[in-house]
């Protein structure tokens, strides 16, 4: 995905990072969240629906309508439109999928931030398990459905939460992959009988994207059951597999020029 000039300015220049630091200050993030949860923000919904050609009949509408734009953004799809398939690995969300092989030098660009695997997980030992494996990166745009499911079955670890940070505007010395921002993210490890160790991670948008995960029942992940949702902001889900996999052939036929593959929540990938 090609970055816009404004994104390159914000993330790749010192003046841009100064602006970015101001934009992502906690007070600004709280102000943005307050505005999106305000009743007046609901006035934006009809424009957003029309602009993005969203079929509102597919979603559960609260009695009296959506209170705010954020409530609309977190809308829940009606059961009859949630089509799931049998598979050992299913798409956790609607989005655009990129498949990457993982090796010792792998660097992942997630929402304009660069991570090696150890930085992404904040766990060196866990990161080593996935060298030689596969990363599935699902990019959600603001127009996608922002609720997501478990991608596999199996006993799951406790949830690991990593708070987002914004580094100083000076380059960071002695870093293999210098970064200036880190998005908030949460992940669990799932022990799949057929796929081994699987990590499912949610990554929030830097400014206002909030991750809201449901409580895990009986410590077991159940494929194609809802795991949680994102609040406003384009977001990302990452699935890490500890070995190489070959996805279903039908997916390759949809691959776009930029390498992304459109997928739907509950769709079988393996």
Q: What are phi and psi of 239, to 5 degrees?
A: -120, 125
Provide the pLDDT for residue 141.
87
The answer to whether residue 116 is catalytic is: no
Residue-wise pLDDT tens digits, 144-195: 999 999 999 999 988 999 887 644 444 443 344 444 467 788 999 999 999 9
Extents of the domains making up the chain: 5-73, 82-263
Active site residue: 41, 91, 235, 242, which one? Answer: 235
Provide the pLDDT for residue 178.
44
Percentages helix, strand, coil for the chain (3-state, rounded to 5) are: 25, 30, 45
Residue with tokens 């009743």: 39
CB 137 within 8 A of CB 200: no
Cα separation values, 235 from 14, 73, 141, 145, 191, Å: 25, 12, 7, 11, 25
Provide the pLDDT for residue 233.
64
Active site residue: 94, 189, 192, 242, which one? Answer: 94
CB 148 within 8 A of CB 226: yes
The answer to whether residue 235 is catalytic is: yes
Provide the pLDDT for residue 228.
94
Report d(CA 181, CA 206) in Å as an integer. Answer: 8
Provide the pLDDT for residue 91.
98
Block means of pLDDT (10 residues each) for the chain, 270 residues, are: 59 67 61 82 94 93 93 94 94 96 88 83 94 95 92 93 61 42 86 96 74 83 94 85 92 90 96
Report d(CA 28, CA 9) in Å as an integer. Answer: 20
Provide the pLDDT for residue 81.
93
């Amino acid at each position: 995905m090609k970055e816009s000039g404004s994104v390159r300015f914000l993330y790749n220049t010192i003046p841009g990072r100064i602006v970015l630091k101001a934009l992502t200050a906690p007070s600004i993030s709280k102000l943005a969240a307050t505005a999106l949860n305000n009743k007046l923000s609901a006035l934006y919904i009809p424009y957003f629906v029309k602009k993005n050609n969203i079929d509102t009949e597919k979603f559960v509408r609260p009695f009296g309508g959506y209170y705010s734009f954020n409530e609309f953004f977190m809308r829940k799809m009606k059961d009859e439109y949630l089509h799931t398939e049998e598979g050992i690995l299913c798409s956790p969300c609607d989005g655009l999928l990129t498949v990457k092989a993982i090796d010792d030098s792998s660097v992942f660009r997630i929402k304009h931030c660069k991570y090696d695997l150890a930085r992404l997980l904040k766990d060196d030992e866990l990161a080593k398990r996935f060298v030689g494996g596969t990363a599935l990166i699902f990019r959600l745009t603001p127009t996608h459905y922002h609720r997501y499911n478990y991608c596999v079955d199996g006993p799951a670890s406790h949830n690991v939460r990593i708070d987002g940070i914004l580094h100083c505007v000076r380059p960071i010395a002695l870093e293999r992959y210098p970064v200036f921002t880190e998005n908030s993210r949460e992940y669990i490890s799932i022990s799949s009988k057929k796929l081994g160790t699987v990590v499912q991670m949610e990554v929030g948008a830097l400014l206002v994207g909030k991750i809201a995960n449901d409580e895990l029942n009986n410590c077991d992940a159940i494929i194609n059951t809802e795991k949680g949702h994102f609040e406003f902001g384009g977001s990302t889900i990452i699935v890490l597999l500890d070995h190489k996999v070959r996805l279903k052939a039908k997916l390759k036929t949809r691959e776009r020029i930029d390498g992304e593959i459109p997928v739907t929540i509950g769709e079988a990938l393996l």
